[in-house]
């Protein structure tokens, strides 16, 4: 199977095969809490990891289960909470590096590097294969981007300082962690 909303490799394969359009909407029947949405009628509201057995049983009942095996493999866990992670596409801000790749490569040729092999090997190779760069993160820890959008997406505001944020919101801000600023 290919699940473009749940892994970078699947996404790239689906774009290359024309199954989805880069930057377009992705089919994603899993909500922010890791539960199936109403799009998965038989398992709506159920956490994806809790639905594994039921999905296998449904496929078997419908004659669609080709094979069921148990595989031992590594699985990503949160290093802070030791809970399983679910990779899932979420709205993000990107720098469109692929649009300026040629210019970046040309500028690299004009740059003096020490040591010089970095210019034509390491950095050049990185630029030649550069992909659009996700500059936003959806983690609790870290520096949030100072960008707010209206619910309808019609208005976008980029805040330049804490003072500007306080002026626009009428709220004193002394902690920039997400739980303190998301609602502003």
Q: What string of DSSP letters covers 153-172?
A: SS-EEE---HHHHHHHHT--
- The CA angle 99-133-173, to the nearest 5 degrees, is 125
Instruction: For tokens 């959008």, name the residue.
Output: 149
Domains, the chain, in order of start with CATH, read 1-90 (3.90.740.10), 96-134 (no CATH), 147-181 (no CATH)
pLDDT band at 16 (very low <50, low <70, confident <90, very high): very high
Nearest-angstrom CA–CA distance, 80 and 71: 26
pLDDT for 183 beyond 90: no
- The CB density around residue 165, as the number of other CB atoms within 10 Å, is 19
The pLDDT value recorded for residue 141 is 61
Q: 0.85 exceeded by the pTM?
A: no
Structure tokens at 161: 């300082």
Residue 34 in contact with residue 49, Cβ under 8 Å? yes
Structure tokens at 2: 């290919």
Closest of 70, 142, 130 to residue 100, by C-alpha: 130
The pLDDT value recorded for residue 144 is 76
* Average pLDDT, rounded, for the chain: 89
């Amino acid at each position: 199977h290919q699940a473009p909303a749940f892994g970078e490799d699947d996404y790239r394969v689906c774009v290359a095969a024309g199954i989805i359009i880069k930057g377009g909407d992705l089919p994603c029947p899993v909500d922010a809490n890791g539960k199936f949405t109403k799009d998965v009628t038989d398992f709506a509201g159920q956490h994806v990891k809790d639905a594994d057995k039921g999905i296998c049983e449904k496929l078997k009942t419908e004659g669609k289960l080709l094979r069921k095996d148990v595989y031992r493999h590594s699985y990503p866990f949160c290093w802070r909470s030791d809970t399983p992670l679910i990779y899932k596409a979420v709205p993000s801000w990107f720098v469109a590096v692929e649009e300026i790749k040629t210019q970046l490569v040309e500028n690299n040729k004009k740059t003096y590097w020490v040591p010089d092999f970095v210019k034509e090997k390491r950095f050049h190779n990185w630029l030649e294969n550069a992909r659009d760069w996700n500059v936003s993160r959806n983690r609790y820890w870290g520096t949030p981007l100072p960008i707010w959008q209206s619910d309808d997406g019609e208005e976008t505001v980029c805040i330049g300082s804490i003072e500007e944020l306080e002026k626009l919101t009428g709220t004193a801000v002394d902690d920039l962690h997400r739980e303190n600023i998301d609602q502003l």
